[in-house]
């Protein structure tokens, strides 16, 4: 079987709330965007963050069908607006494959997330 290398670069800028009139997310908020080969969502869930300090990222390829075996070839890079970068392999993370989308847990960088400050590229 032909080896498939899938590399997804998710750029998530998470900026803490300041007193500048920003709206803190208290429940759940979904931030999404899409690139040439993937669509991506960052699902911020305040309750999940308080319990586990994590939130979900979902990636869905546009032109290929994902299989459980391919997850080991998906490497993600998460970068903050401060320039800090974390890289990980989706297979090594807590993940779930649903239809053709893979979701995985990532650590959240701030105690608070603001609707205006979270940008997904």
Interval 36-54: pLDDT, tens = 999 999 898 889 988 998 9
- Distance in angstroms between the alpha carbons of the first and the last residue of the chain: 33
> Please, is 22 exposed, middle or buried when counting C-beta atoms within 10 Å of its C-beta (0-12, 13-18, 19+)?
middle
Average of per-residue pLDDT across 72-97:
86
pLDDT tens readout for residues 16-41: 444 456 777 788 888 888 989 999 99
pLDDT at 3: 32
| Residue 8, pLDDT above cutoff 80 | no
pTM for the model stands at 0.71
Residue 53 to residue 45: CA distance in whole angstroms: 10
């Amino acid at each position: 079987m032909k080896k498939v290398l899938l590399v997804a670069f998710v750029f998530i800028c998470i900026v803490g709330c300041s007193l500048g009139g920003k709206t803190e997310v208290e429940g759940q908020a979904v931030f999404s965007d899409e690139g040439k080969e993937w669509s991506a969502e960052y699902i911020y869930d305040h309750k999940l963050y308080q319990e586990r300090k994590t939130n979900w990222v979902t990636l869905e390829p546009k032109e290929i069908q994902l299989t459980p075996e391919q997850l080991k070839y998906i490497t993600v890079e998460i970068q903050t607006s401060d320039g800090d970068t974390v890289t990980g392999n989706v297979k090594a993370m807590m993940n779930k494959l649903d239809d053709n989308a893979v979701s995985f847990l990532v650590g959240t960088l701030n105690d608070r997330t603001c609707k205006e400050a979270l940008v997904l590229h």
